[in-house]
Amino acid sequence: MAAAPSAGPAPATCWPAVLAAVLGGVAIGMNVGKVPLALPAMRLELGLTLMQSGWVSSMLTTLAVIAALGFGLAAGRIGALRMVLGGLTLGAAASMLALTVDGSASHGFALLILTRFLEGAGFLAVAVAAPSLVSAAAGPADRRFALGVWSTYMPAGAGLAMALSPLLLPAPGWRGLWCVSAVMLVLAAAAIWQQREHYAPAGGPSATAALGPTLAVLRQPLPWLLALAFGVWAVQHFALIVWLPTFLKEQRGLSPAWVALLSCAMLLACVPGNLIGGALVQRGVARGRIIAIAHGLTGLCGLGFFNDGLPDGLRYALCVALSFIGGVIPAAVMSSSVVLARSPSQISALQGLIMQGSQAGQFMGTPLIAAVVAASGDWSSARWVTGGAALIGLWLGLLALRAERFAIRPSPQFITTAKL
């Protein structure tokens, strides 16, 4: 009897296609990072009140908390490639529309909020759908690491916008930053379109994207544990992002350029952490173990950098360390979709859940930190929020470690790697 034909070699990773999808994430992440440092200039030029400024800053997060999972489900029906290209185009168009905002016009603030809403919709479309493109372009041996690389998109994009802010805000101002953001989005869309052949079959609408099968992946506990763990990490990281610029400017009197530089360095420290997290997952380290250890270490760093008795240099080093160590958490969480999903539409649903968890952490963490600080009159009291979040994250990591043993294995027709 003739021997059965052996299976062909596993498909190789197309790294240009992977990096094009990551570039799309970095470009859309700039729409998040461009606002904090530009907001004072926008308030001055457009006459925004404090409440209006809050809405401009929080519109994207508010939309994500409400609709991220819905966007993930929609991506399965529309197709990941169409969703990503549509999101990038929408983000670029919204950024250009914002250039027409006139502070003296009665509808100026309404138009600005509309542009932020559209930028938020574009951000969600890319954030939930691009991981399907990364997964499709990566070979089985590299898929988990490739998704770890994808997890760098937010700190890299926000950090790039913050790095450009001191160069552009003096002249031509916040509008120049918005123009650069729009150009980056268009370039990213062009790069993804050029690599479109490498994104099949995940790039098109899924024939199996019915709501029931898509939601089936969310019936297991592990995705929820991972999303919650990401959320409590966001509480810690966002406390850092809020606290550091305020501390450097108001309490240490540093110039805006130094505030932007040191804040950007802290944020970008998360990027190598993301890559290390992806490498650890690729080597088979359990996600729950990575999450639990990282939360334990970031909790200790948080207790240190909110300690007024420590030298400024050490406190800043602890800020950078928290961002670096915590960077392994997004990589561990985001790469889980490749082993939990049994179809491309389920990847998008999982990414929507993960995005909703992370944004909920930011949404709830900011007013909680503000309330604690306002009640005590001391920024150091925020350590109770970050420390509590770290303890919850450690506990969730241990629960996830146990749940990983019972997680659904992926369909061999979709993904050939079966190890968590």
pLDDT tens per residue, range 18-54:
999 999 999 999 998 898 888 888 888 888 887 888 8
Residue 351 to residue 72: CA distance in whole angstroms:
6
CB 38, CB 24: distance < 8 Å = no
Mean pLDDT of 239-255: 78
CB atoms within 10 A of CB 49: 10
Cα 276 to Cα 294, 332, 404, distances in angstroms: 12, 10, 20
Nearest in space to 132 (alpha carbons), one of 24, 281, 53, 274: 24
pLDDT at 206: 53
Alpha helices in 195-311 (DSSP H): 211-216, 221-246, 256-268, 270-282, 287-305
Mean pLDDT of 362-374: 80
Cα angle 364, 76, 235; round to 5: 15
Amino acid of residue 76: G
CB atoms within 10 A of CB 367: 11
Write out the two tokens for 189.
Answer: 């869309």
Residue 202 vs residue 317, higher pLDDT: 317
pTM, full prediction? 0.85
What is 15-406's CATH number, 1.10.3720.10, 3.40.50.920, 3.40.30.10, 1.20.1250.20? 1.20.1250.20
pLDDT at 207: 47
For the CA atoms of 131, 137, 139, 140, what is the dihedral angle to 10 degrees? 30
pLDDT at 253: 79
pLDDT band at residue 276, thresholds of 50, 70 and 90?
very high
CB atoms within 10 A of CB 1: 3
Residue 408 predicted with pLDDT over 70:
no
Residue 116 predicted with pLDDT over 80:
yes
* Helix, strand, coil distribution of the chain in percent, nearest 5: 80, 0, 20
pLDDT band at residue 119, thresholds of 50, 70 and 90?
very high
Residue 330 vs residue 364, higher pLDDT: 330
Mean pLDDT of 381-403: 92
Buried b (16+ CB within 10 A) or exposed e, 72-97: bbbbbbbbbbbbbbbbbebbbbbbbb
pLDDT at 209: 53
Residue 406 predicted with pLDDT over 90:
no
- Share of residues in the chain with pLDDT > 90 (%): 41
Residue 282 predicted with pLDDT over 80:
yes
**13-27, 184-198, 311-325, 340-354: which range is least confident on average?**
340-354
Residues in the chain: 420
pLDDT at 413: 43
Residue 135 to residue 144: CA distance in whole angstroms:
8
Give the model confidence (pLDDT) of 61-75 as tens digits. Answer: 889 889 998 898 888
Residue 382 predicted with pLDDT over 90:
no
Instruction: Give the rounded distance of the alpha carbon of 145 from its chain centre.
Output: 16
pLDDT at 175: 93
pLDDT at 2: 45
Mean pLDDT across the chain: 85
Residue 58 predicted with pLDDT over 50:
yes
